[in-house]
Amino acid sequence: MKRWTLTMTLLSGLLALASCRRDTPPAGPEAAVGEPIRIGALFAETGPASFLGAPAARTARMLTEQINAEGGLLGRPVELVLRDTGGSPERAVSFARQLIEEERVVAIIGPSTSGETMQIKDICQAAHMPLISCAAAEVIVNPVASYVFKTPQKDSQAAAWIFKTMNEMNISRIGVVSGNTGFGNAGKAQLEALAPEFGIEIAASEIYDSRATDLTDILTKVRGQNVQAVVNWSIVPAQAIVARNMRQLGMDVPLFQSHGYGNIKYVEQGGEAAEGTLFPGGRLLIVDTLPDDHPQKAPLAAYKKAYEERFNEEVSTFGGHAYDAFMIVAEAIRKAGSTERSAVRDAIESLQGFVGTGGIFNFSPEDHNGLDMDAFEMLTVRNGRFEKYSKP
């Protein structure tokens, strides 16, 4: 066993040496083919988090093909090393180790869930492996770990948008329901922390199993507290079930969802019960209605068109997060002019004005998310479509 490890270490060391040497010569015709640049990706293509992971994985594959068709990065082809975590933190950990130690990728994009990301945050930091997470929870980048970044908007910003809208609607007494996932728990904590600042009282707060198929019991309890609005914070199909059960119970108070609602499938599953749902979301979902001079319009429309033609399904926020992560890594490699991890990390941290699906990214040593409040819009569902919410 020991000898095997030693051989592997030596071998991988040799490989690393070989790839380093190939970096240095000036780009000749030979370098255009060259050793592929390996980008690691961890997405839950299957399992309960596949709502997030599957569009993300599809996006990463599509972008790899696109970049290779355009001549690759630094004249070298890009190879995507994608692993399906199934949404399990344990598998995310072992695959992350595999990508770091065996596959020796330049950077890792994903995972889509906060629970998985938090499990591998320290591993990537210790191995000096740039990690661009596609998960939402704020704890991923707060406190900052120098090698860990994330593309989705922060959940504190989402909570602030929700409360801001509630203030406009004169809502002050609300009920919160959340899924028992890392994302749900982080969101619930943010809502509870920010509520006093906006003068909002959380009268009922309930956690449900992320695989729950009926939530009338919890909503009955919330309804008993005479709330003026309900906030649901989860990433699972329960987002559709909350909407249905509320309408079945005859609750007519507004339903707010988190920024995890950004997949039109939740609306389809909610059917007419989803009408009027409010949630903060990125502009990818309303790209058709963006003015032409908006800086995000052109790249978003291009991504949407390519994705929808290729996979025959509507683009979602979660594929968008992977788009951002992948493009940030690609841009950083181009800017750094090398595939050395520390150089790529430095390039990401100094990236300014990068236009992505989540907003316009301005990274800094203190901010590894790079998005401000303006990255969100308050969206609503009307006639089965997403559209920008405007006060009636």
Identified binder of other proteins from the candidate list 224, 337, 365, 384, rule CB under 8 A: 224
The answer to whether 260 contacts other proteins (rule: CB under 8 A) is no
Estimate the share of the chain in helix, then strand, then coil, as percent rounded to the nearest 5.
50, 15, 35
What is the bridge-based pairing of β-strands 229-233 and 255-257? parallel
The answer to whether 356 contacts other proteins (rule: CB under 8 A) is no
Q: Which of residues 11-50 bind other proteins (CB under 8 A)?
A: 45-48, 50
What is the bridge-based pairing of β-strands 385-388 and 255-257? unpaired
Radius of gyration over every alpha carbon of the chain, rounded to an integer in angstroms:
22
* Tokens (6 digits) for 378: 């308050």
- Helices (H), strands (E): how many in the chain? 12, 14
**Candidates 6-14, 152-160, 211-219, 226-234; binding stretch for other proteins (CB under 8 A):** 211-219
Residue with tokens 């922390």: 193
The answer to whether 244 contacts other proteins (rule: CB under 8 A) is yes
DSSP secondary structure string for all residues of 275-337: TT-EEEE-GGGGGGGS-TTSTTHHHHHHHHHHHHHHHSS---HHHHHHHHHHHHHHHHHHHHT
Instruction: Return d(Cα 289, Cα 390) in angstroms, integer.
Output: 13
Identified binder of other proteins from the candidate list 221, 294, 305, 334, rule CB under 8 A: 221
Identified binder of other proteins from the candidate list 66, 172, 180, 362, rule CB under 8 A: 180
For residue 248, which phi and psi values (nearest 5 degrees)?
Answer: -60, -35
- We find the least distance from the C-beta atom of residue 202 to other proteins, in angstroms, to be 14
- We find the least distance from the C-beta atom of residue 204 to other proteins, in angstroms, to be 10
The answer to whether 199 contacts other proteins (rule: CB under 8 A) is no
Identified binder of other proteins from the candidate list 26, 28, 143, 213, rule CB under 8 A: 213
- We find the least distance from the C-beta atom of residue 249 to other proteins, in angstroms, to be 5
The answer to whether 272 contacts other proteins (rule: CB under 8 A) is yes
Identified binder of other proteins from the candidate list 144, 203, 207, 286, rule CB under 8 A: 207
Binding-site size, other proteins (CB under 8 A): 37
Nearer to other proteins among residue 244 and residue 341 (C-beta): 244
The answer to whether 314 contacts other proteins (rule: CB under 8 A) is no
Instruction: Return d(Cα 195, Cα 133) in angstroms, integer.
Output: 27
3-state secondary structure of 2: helix
The answer to whether 110 contacts other proteins (rule: CB under 8 A) is no
Q: Which residues bind other proteins (CB under 8 A)?
A: 45-48, 50-51, 54, 180, 206-209, 211, 213-214, 216-218, 220-221, 224, 237, 240-241, 243-244, 247-250, 265, 269-274
